[in-house]
Homo-oligomer: A and B are copies of this chain.
């Protein structure tokens, strides 16, 4: 565990849900010379060690979070806002997919896409902000 690695881990624990770029910025506050390459390599390592997890909130860069802080994300593809709900909302679905398709669902890894309450209200008016 080198200083850089510790800094990356600290940043992930600290920020919760940060992209590699954001983590890099955070690390560079205390160690400006650290390169983004190192961030990527270290995140990969920490993930294999089971210390962090990443998930996809749609389009852009993935988001890294400490292992154990799991929730299901709901992203609105009109306004881009992200909501978090409990993974056990998907428990039943997981069971069902396991039974029917032999598929072990990882509910927290990818966000569910849809339309948030606000955008549903203003429905049809405009077009999505992000290509989703």
Contacts and interface: CB of A to CB of B under 8 A. Distances in A.
Interface residues of A, number: 36
Given A74-B97, A111-B110, A116 B92 contact: no
Given A74-B103, A120-B104, A113 B113 contact: no
Interface in A93-107: 93, 96-97, 100-107
B113 A106 contact: yes
A120 B107 CA distance: 16
Q: How many copies does the complex hold?
A: 2
Interface of A: 44, 48, 56, 58, 74, 76-77, 83, 85, 89-90, 92-93, 96-97, 100-107, 109-117, 120, 127, 131-132
A-B pairs with lowest CB-CB distance, top 6: A102-B117, A104-B115, A109-B113, A105-B114, A106-B114, A110-B113
B96 A89 contact: yes
Contacts of A132: 56, 109
A131 B105 CA distance: 16
Nearest to A120: B104
